[in-house]
């Protein structure tokens, strides 16, 4: 039997994903019609991106699952018409990309690279002291899901003193783990580098605000490859102006693209990155999509299902 797989993730992506998906489905022995246009009541699976024009899932009565191409699902999880199982993207390529990005920016700030990168003015800066060793640098990761846990392990491997915080209890070797709202201040206390990898939910909005930022070591660095709403922007700008936060490297924002008149662009202690921390790679993401389709066809549980009540 040939199944119908609707690619509802943008026509511009279809050309990138199609060869990888078709090859993967063929290798799995699945006869599939991969298309961007199909009668809703004939669709067996939907490959989806939250910027898709598809908003009403009601007509897709035969659909076994909606397979999200992105790790974030906040734009779709609240859709009342979506009654099919929803799987988010947990992809080793995306995870590795995030590890590399987070590690790179952590090392950038830990080693003070900016001083020399931007200081090519003929002055020999031998007076600048050597940075502490990684074990003497406290790093806190907020969010210990697949991406946060992977980044925590990588930083532990480099010798950093890593703490982590999540909503529910987690255990990661070498990481001091905190959980629950009552332990957030403990996780942030004295942190010199803070990395945000929480999902965007009503509960996580403004996790970093004037009160929580006050717990950081003075001059701390903030790195946010997670979600824009995790930060109270006015509070962060005030903390940057006061020196409580020394630098913020921001990959995500409440409004994207970031408006040209946004104060983050002009702030000397902010690095703006255009949501490029880790993108989904077609060749690795296709493997995850194909595996879930194989599971659906075999009557096995889907991987990476979203908890609708938790929002991720």
Exactly one of 20, 88, 109, 227 is catalytic; name it: 227
Contact indicator for 282, 258 with CB cutoff of 8 Å: no
**Rounded to 5 degrees, what are φ and ψ at 166?**
-150, 170
* Catalytic-residue membership of 20: no
Exactly one of 108, 275, 294, 304 is catalytic; name it: 275
* Integer Cα distance of 69 and 65 in angstroms: 13
Taking the C-alpha atoms of 190, 196, 202 and 208 in order, what is their torsion angle to the nearest 10 degrees? 30
* Catalytic-residue membership of 275: yes
**How big is the chain, counted in residues?**
312
The burial of 60, by beta-carbon neighbours within 10 Å (0-12 exposed, 13-18 middle, 19 or more buried), is given as buried
User: Among 106, 100, 108, 71, which Cα is nearest to 87's?
Assistant: 71
- Catalytic (active-site) positions: 227, 275
């Amino acid at each position: 039997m040939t199944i119908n797989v609707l690619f509802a993730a943008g026509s511009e992506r279809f050309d990138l994903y199609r060869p990888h998906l078709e090859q993967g489905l063929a290798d799995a022995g699945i006869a599939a019609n991969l298309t961007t246009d199909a009668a809703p009541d004939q669709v067996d699976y939907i490959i989806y991106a939250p910027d898709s024009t598809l908003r009403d899932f009601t007509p897709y009565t035969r659909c076994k699952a909606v397979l999200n191409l992105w790790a974030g699902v906040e734009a779709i999880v609240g859709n009342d018409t979506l009654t099919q199982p929803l799987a988010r993207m947990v992809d080793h390529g995306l995870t590795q990309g995030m590890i590399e990005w987070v590690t790179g920016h952590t090392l950038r700030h830990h080693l003070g690279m900016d001083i020399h990168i931007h200081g090519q003015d003929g002055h020999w800066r031998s007076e600048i002291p050597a940075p502490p060793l990684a074990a003497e640098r406290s790093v806190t990761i907020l969010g210990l899901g697949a991406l946060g846990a992977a980044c925590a392990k990588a930083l532990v491997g480099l010798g950093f003193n890593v703490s982590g915080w999540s909503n529910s209890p987690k255990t990661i070797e070498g990481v001091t783990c905190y959980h629950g709202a009552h332990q957030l201040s403990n996780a942030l206390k004295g942190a010199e580098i803070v990395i945000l990898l929480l999902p965007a939910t009503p509960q996580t909005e403004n996790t970093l605000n004037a009160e929580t930022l006050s717990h950081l070591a003075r001059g701390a660095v903030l790195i946010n490859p997670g979600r824009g709403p995790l930060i109270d922007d006015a509070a962060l700008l005030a903390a940057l102006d006061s020196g409580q936060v020394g630098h913020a490297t921001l990959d995500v924002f409440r409004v994207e693209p970031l408006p040209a008149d946004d104060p983050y662009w002009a702030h000397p202690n902010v690095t703006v990155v255009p949501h490029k921390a880790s993108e989904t790679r077609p060749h690795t993401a296709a493997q995850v999509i194909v595996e879930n389709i194989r599971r659906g066809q075999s009557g096995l549980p889907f991987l990476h299902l979203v908890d609708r009540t938790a929002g991720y």
